[in-house]
Amino acid sequence: MITGAAVSTVYCNLKLKHPTFNMPMIDYDLALLIQPMLMMGVSIGVICNVIFPDWLVTVLFIILSLVTSTKAFMKGVETWKKEALLIREAAAKKSKQSSDGIEYTPPTGSDDIVETRPPTDEALSIWKNIYWKEFGLLIFVWAAILTLQVAMNYVETCSTLYWVFSLLQIPVSAGVSIYQAVGLVQGKRVISSRANTHTSLKSHLVLICFFGFTAGVLGGLLGLGGGVIMGPLFLELGIPPQVSSATATFAMMFSSSIAVIEYYLLNRFPIPYALFFTCVAFIAAIVGQLVARKLINWFGRASFIIFVLSFMIFIGVIPLGGVGILNMKHKIVRHEYMGFHDICKFDA
């Protein structure tokens, strides 16, 4: 589901421009920094999913969802208040200028205004709106990790080659992230989609990579794609909500597809159901993108995206957490084993 929704959403976002800057809606420099660590984390998270008992996965999912949804909601409230203040200030200035006979011009240059302007519906050619160098590096990391995962499937679990292929993911992922981080430190690259460009991100690069890795581990473990962590994280970095959503989904497209392939190799999901829900999510995401943009333009508030993110994360706790709790109850009643599993004895 996550992969299908991510693919359709990314397709829509590839044609859109940044709401305020002359750049794509997707921040490729930010994606190149965090995405390789995200994919490496996904691989570890999938292994943890095999090892961890179901009850622990359920508990972690509920805790993570509640924390991130609350964090996103509070950020939405903060952004809503900023937007309300800006709207009142703009209305007062317009009224004053009108009374003085001066033509009103909307204010520009404020960091907060950059953050809260509604997104543009202007669409460009996909070929002209993609940063192909960064996109190519992301494809390279994705293909390299995919190749290693497939190779691991053809060797004995826990054999020497198995761990060699597994550990080779570290230099591939970390190498690309370090390459991007060095470019940011040296000033050769810049995360230019941030609303507040006066604050340097150099001191936060390690933290961003760490959160990307953590998001991947939790995404692979819980089957979330990592977006529930990256979305709120990008917002905290000062990325506008529209760009935050687009960039997080772009990263999720790679990480979730890797997770799907890994779970397929482990025979841990039924293909017919997966294809059905992928198609449903693909169509639903396209409809959701169109409706969301219309509503944001209508209300004139980008904070709408943040509230939707918070709401969807919270709603996901009810069915998924409920099913997990029921499964725990059944296992307790049947006195089934509920401890950790040995990855070396797992039969795919």
pLDDT in tens, the chain (348 residues): 677 777 778 877 887 887 777 788 888 888 898 889 988 888 888 888 889 988 898 888 888 888 888 888 888 888 888 888 888 888 888 777 766 665 545 444 434 433 444 444 445 567 778 888 888 999 999 999 889 988 888 888 888 998 999 999 999 999 999 998 888 888 777 776 665 544 456 667 888 888 888 888 887 888 766 666 777 778 777 788 788 888 888 888 888 887 788 777 777 667 777 788 778 878 887 787 778 777 777 777 777 778 887 887 788 778 878 888 888 888 888 888 888 888 887 655
Residue 155 DSSP label: S
State the Cα–Cα distance between residues 303 and 84, nearest whole angstrom: 11
Contact 97, 328 (CB under 8 A): no
Query: 347's torsion region: left (phi>0), alpha (psi -120 to 50) or beta?
Result: beta
Containing structural domain, residue 99? 2-345
Amino acid, single-letter form, for residue 290: L
- Report the pLDDT value the prediction gives residue 164, as an integer from 0 to 100: 93
Q: Name the packing angle between helices 227-236 and 241-265 (round to 10°).
A: 160
- Report the pLDDT value the prediction gives residue 171, as an integer from 0 to 100: 93
- Report the pLDDT value the prediction gives residue 304, as an integer from 0 to 100: 78
Burial, 133: exposed, middle or buried (Cβ in 10 Å; 0-12, 13-18, 19+)?
A: exposed
Structural domain total, the chain: 1
- Report the pLDDT value the prediction gives residue 276, as an integer from 0 to 100: 81
State the Cα–Cα distance between residues 209 and 251, nearest whole angstrom: 13
Partner residues linked to 16 by β-bridges: 123
- Report the pLDDT value the prediction gives residue 347, as an integer from 0 to 100: 58
State the Cα–Cα distance between residues 181 and 175, nearest whole angstrom: 10
CA 244 from chain centre, in angstroms, equals 8
Buried b (16+ CB within 10 A) or exposed e, 66-85: eebbebbbebbeebbebbee
- Report the pLDDT value the prediction gives residue 30, as an integer from 0 to 100: 87
State the Cα–Cα distance between residues 328 and 320, nearest whole angstrom: 12
Neighbours of 104 (CB within 10 A): 13
- Report the pLDDT value the prediction gives residue 259, as an integer from 0 to 100: 77
Neighbours of 340 (CB within 10 A): 12
State the Cα–Cα distance between residues 30 and 201, nearest whole angstrom: 11
What is the Cβ-side half-sphere exposure of residue 206, based on CA atoms within 13 angstroms? 1
- Alpha helices, H only, the chain: 2-13, 28-51, 54-99, 111-116, 132-153, 160-167, 169-185, 205-222, 227-236, 241-265, 271-299, 303-316, 322-333
